[in-house]
Structure 1
Amino acid sequence: MNQEIKIALVEDDENLRFLVSERLQTEGYRVLEASNGDDAEKMIMEENPDIVLLDWMLPGKQGSEVCENIRKNGFDKLVIMMTAKAQDVDKIEAYNFGVSDYITKPYNMDVLVAMIDNKIKFSLNNDKPETYRFANMEHHPNTHLLIKDGKKVELTILENRILLYFLKNRNKVINREELMMEVWGYNADVNTRTLDMHIVRLRKKIEDNPDSPQYLQTVRGVGYKFAHD
């Protein structure tokens, strides 16, 4: 099934690039490789891959600049940033370079493959990038954009992950642990207060009255529910 799926792997560490490329090819993906930002931009715009795996630290250009440039040139598929430092994750969260998601190094190959498989499964069913509609809103997870009443609202990557999970599990009560696992992953040192803080921020962006939420409802003692038909 993965035969026609192209992944652009942009990584300057030759050994790591070889390992990731080998593993992805074993999984049946077609891998295109670049080791610096300029080559990466050219390759991505020419080859139009389904997913870009982009290293944050690259010689010459940083990954964030590459991402910004390909977005400006109309590339709207998935871009997953690979980063080694926690502070880079904060930067990815804080500024919108157009990164769809990120994974921190050193990553487990199985986790990387599962992440890609999961994302591919959803995007394969749609020719155009995946979009979720509810009420007067449209959510575009690849570019973490929310369009509300025709106006653009930018979401951070974590808000994007949270909203996407809710939209895939509408009207289902989701406990905090499940949500934290989904959003921050296995090894995250995160507490429920952090999650609640992100929920509060997300409510401000989607609810007409955040204090009395219509969609993102709290289920006392359990977690949350995204209420929508």
Structure 2
Amino acid sequence: MLLVDDDILLHQLLEVYLCEHHYHLDWLCCGEDMDEFLQHQTPDLILLDIMLPGKDGLHWLSWLKNNHNHIPVMLLSAKKSAEERLQGLEFGAEDYLTKPFHPKELLIRIRNIMRRPPQPHEHGIYRIGNNLFDLVHEQLERDNKLIKLTTQESSLLQFLCQHAGQILTRDSISHAINGNEHQPLNRSIDMTINRLRKKLGEDTASPRHLCTVWRKGYRLTLAP
């Protein structure tokens, strides 16, 4: 996640708070630095202040929607006018939060955005951290190198991408990728998940993207 705001105290507060809730926060103090940053990283969400030094947040929101439209943006502003809020939403922001705000409200809004059905990149390409998954051609790529997937791994990753952000039970996953051969309580899904985590470059002890939801199932997060 990326915060673009010249308020260093806000950055320090949110960095600690969001880290406690398992979110990593990068920080830029002005919009002019976003171009270089986004050439190397793709955040899952940008928190963008409107009252930035130089060009304001609405300018950078328009720039983001023209150049990085797949990245959701939440606007932050001390201004409370309905006109500015509507303008921000018309420019394509996913949400708008006025300052000062309670960190828990920000967290709830972040989670709500993360739960929304993801939009694939052009040509059906999904970004999962440093990986790119081409759903149409069933190809996984990282650092310009193709990573070989088995048929079951590819089917599983397709299903997870199409339902990213949702908690999926083991049985629903098995039924989706095995069809009529689905067997309730089939534990082979767990083995396929573990293999897929390794191919995605995940820390299998503490995965960031393909996570186990205790007693419920699995969830894939399309995040950097």
Q: TM-score, normalised by structure 2?
A: 0.49
The structure with more radius of gyration: 2
Q: TM-score, normalised by structure 1?
A: 0.48
Structure scoring higher RCO (CA < 8 A, sep ≥ 6) equals 2
